[in-house]
Chain A
């Protein structure tokens, strides 16, 4: 029984970390991040490294949950997990020294009913979080240029 349980845990290990809700198994791959990372350290520096990215993600996620327009989309989401995988995704794309272990964008946003206006609201929340961290506007847009093509997979089909 204990062997069976530990096997089950082993299999589940990469999918959900302690404190997170269970998710269906998926194959972990950096390509799930949905964008190729920047090269060099310029963007990681502009975002103040992993510490800066962590602050931006915390600000961004809290803002989304509290948002009067898109808050309800987030209401039933696992905030702990969202903060972790978003941090990994941003850190990976910004080439700040992380791997991405979350799901691909289409799977992660399936059946969430996200519309274009929600996506723009989300972008504004991210802009606010990046501005609060003091990220230069041109660097903000460079980062957004990596995220923009993901809209296709995020929107309600």
Chain B
């Protein structure tokens, strides 16, 4: 938690170094191009569905303060997952996000000895700073760094399955760019994490209890102002002896219903989760952004 506080303080400090004249300008409303705020990733940071991008939540530019809220449902073979969260984007520079995640084991809960419909839950507080560049305009792509403090609410159970901790901090850096000449967005993220299945199965484990480097990426093709399709990848750690963890993939379609609402549907392959293989299914999200 101390590390998280330090990291958050550092990100706040970054925003203080923003050009004084930019901060002196009065705030205004409205600004980003459709879809360029991304959607809300599983852990609440704006980006793709599985991974953050180097974009800041909300529809505002360097002259405004934006907000976003989202609800996500993931229905895979044996489990279902819901998350809801909010984020604030300050002057297209600093993003603070919160997400509450709920992971229901349904019938598998019985097999795991937890009871039918046993649900894990977790809270994630995130901060992200866009350090440089721009998603659309400048020569330099958008570059951002972020932290995510995660607190699992099922400490006793996650320790019982082999996790070493019920809280943890992820650190990541993202580079994102919309290549207008091809209508293609590419984003890559490097993450340092100890989290098992995002942290829903705790942090660290009997196999490994050290930070590992993970790679995440999104590619999207914009078919119209409102509509984009793409795919994502997210590599995962594998810290728990009893439950193998696989890399994640998805194929998505995102549609801007209007300036504020973005609906996303994806087919996700989440591999093996909590000993049960072949967890594939639908990801649905509605995001509101201002």
Is A36 part of the contact surface with B, judged by Cβ < 8 Å?
no
Distance of A138 Cα from B179 Cα, bound (Å): 11
Nearest Cβ distance between residue A114 and chain B, in whole angstroms?
A: 11
B222 and A141 within 8 A (CB): yes
Bound-complex Cα distance A116 to B223 (A):
24
Q: How large is the interface on A (under 10, 10 to 19, 20 to 34, 35 or more residues)?
A: 20 to 34
Kindly list chain A residues whose C-beta atoms are within 8 Å of the C-beta of B33.
Answer: 120, 123-124
**0/1 interface trace, chain A 54-91, chain B, CB 8 Å (1 if under):** 00000000000000010000000000000000000000
The reply on A108 being an interface residue by CB < 8 A is no
Interface residue count for B (Cβ, 8 Å)? 25
- Which residues from chain B contact A26 at a C-beta distance below 8 Å? none
**How far is A149 from B224 in the complex, measured between Cα atoms in Å?**
21
Q: Is B64's beta carbon under 8 Å from chain A? A: yes
Flag if A141 contacts B63 (CB, 8 Å). Answer: no
A contact face: mostly helix, strand, loop, or mixed: helix
A141–B223 CA distance with the chains assembled, in angstroms = 10
How many Å lie between the Cα of A38 and that of B61 in the bound state?
Answer: 30
> Is B180 a contact partner of A115 (Cβ separation < 8 A)?
no
A109: Cβ under 8 A from any B Cβ: no
3 closest residue pairs by CB, A with B: A117-B31, A145-B180, A116-B61
A selection of 5 A-B contacts at a CB cut-off of 8 Å is A117-B63, A120-B32, A120-B61, A141-B181, A152-B137
Interface residues of B (CB under 8 A from A): 25, 28, 30-33, 60-64, 92, 136-139, 179-183, 222-225
On A, residues with C-beta under 8 Å from B are 69, 115-117, 119-121, 123-124, 127, 137-138, 141-142, 144-145, 148-149, 151-152
